[in-house]
Amino acid sequence: MDWDYVLRDAVKDSSIRELHLKKVPSLKTCDDWKKVIEVGLIDHKTKYAHYKGGLVKLGERLYFVDEKVLDVIAPFRPWNFKQKIKIIDVQAS
């Protein structure tokens, strides 16, 4: 399955499936952080991971940026996340 194609439209109506969230790559470095577009904030805990940060778009791709990276970049690039992303299809463990 081509996950890049699936993840382009993974966020719909301020929500994302947990399966898709697990496949979103992390954005740790970027040549120009001003080209990054905010999609929404995430705070979701799975069995093995805690997603706390934001979903962003860079070009056509969707990325997850950890809260620590957002805090480090904040003095140089102000973040303006307008919505909180809800996680759907959560598997009960």
Identify which of 86, 87, 88, 85 has the alpha carbon closest to the alpha carbon of residue 40.
85
> How far, in Å, CA of 15 to CA of 21, rounded?
10
Q: Taken in order 63, 68, 71, 73, is the CA torsion positive or negative?
A: negative
Q: If pLDDT is split at 50, 70 and 90, which confidence band does 68 have? A: very high
> pLDDT (tens digit, 9 = 90+) per residue, 19-40?
888 889 999 999 999 999 999 9
DSSP letters, 3-60, are HHHHHHT--BTTEEEHHHHHHSPB----S-GGG-EEEEEEEEE-SS-EEEEEEEEETT
Q: What is the pLDDT of residue 91?
A: 65
Q: Calculate what percentage of the chain has a pLDDT beyond 90.
A: 63
Determine how many CB atoms are found less than 10 A away from the CB of residue 35. 11
Contact 62, 7 (CB under 8 A): yes
Band of the pLDDT at 11, cuts 50, 70, 90? Answer: confident
pLDDT for res 7 = 76
Residue 90: pLDDT band by 50, 70, 90 thresholds?
A: low
pLDDT the model gives residue 54? 96
Q: Render pLDDT for 73-82 as a digit per residue (tens, 0 to 9).
A: 999 999 999 9
- Which residues share a beta bridge with 13? none
